[in-house]
Amino acid sequence: MQSTIYVEMAPGDLYYHMRRDPLYIDDLETILDEGSLAFNLQIEDGSVEEVAEELMIMHEECLSGNFVSVERLIEASHNPAAYPHAEQVNFGTMH
């Protein structure tokens, strides 16, 4: 239940932080870390820092009217087989 609530709140929280004050990469990493805790995820490979950096780059690109990164992300979400390093976990079993 807590995870569902967080999924609904996370985009709003991020938007709030971005509108209120400049959002620094450290702040974004904290938001992502807190989100991973809400989903009981263990992230130990530097992914949080990598994702935060990519999000900051995408944000800057969007501010300048360049949406190529966002379009690539949307396309990738429709073809998860293109990213074999990501594994889906269902009910404690990896697939």
- Percent of the chain at pLDDT above 70? 63
This prediction has a pTM of 0.60
**Is pLDDT of 93 > 70?**
no
Q: How far apart are the first and last CA of the chain?
A: 23
pLDDT per residue over 35-72, tens digit each? Answer: 887 777 777 788 889 989 998 999 899 989 999 999 98
Q: What is the dihedral of CA 27, 29, 33, 34, to 10 degrees?
A: 20
